[in-house]
Structure 1
Amino acid sequence: MKKLTIKKKRAAQGDVMHTGNYDILVDGEPIDDKRLINIKIEAGAFEYPTVSLEYRPKEIEIDGVVVNDSKGEAK
């Protein structure tokens, strides 16, 4: 990841901080905010920021083997 962009949607409801109110882009590509669980941004003085995205993917494939189904449940 080179760039994380978080932009408030025009149709945002109030000032509530939840993912449904924001467009979230990783390297310019939008991610499915319905599958995003948490965003953690740590930025200390004189340090590069660290970003952690906790995300529930639709499918996980490891070395050519699918290890969960489309509902996000392990096989």
Structure 2
Amino acid sequence: MELTMIICQNVPEVIWNAFRLANMMLEEMDDVSIFLNGPSVKYQDLDSEQFPLNELAKIFTLSEGRLFA
């Protein structure tokens, strides 16, 4: 299955859940793309211990997920 997710919020929990779902789908061999729009483009600034966005994004891109901004 091919899936494109569009994220346009700067709420860390929303972005975190989107990356988690995308990584789960990649494990199932689906094709996943994430398009960051508006305030979500700066997701790296929202990284925290509770919401490790940078680590999830790294896993996503190393697992052949496509990240667009």
Q: Which has the higher helix share?
A: 2
**Greater relative contact order (CA < 8 Å, ≥ 6 in sequence):** 2
TM-score of the superposition, structure 2-length normalised?
0.20
Give the greater-gyration-radius structure (CA): 1
TM-score of the superposition, structure 1-length normalised?
0.19
Q: Which has the higher strand share?
A: 1
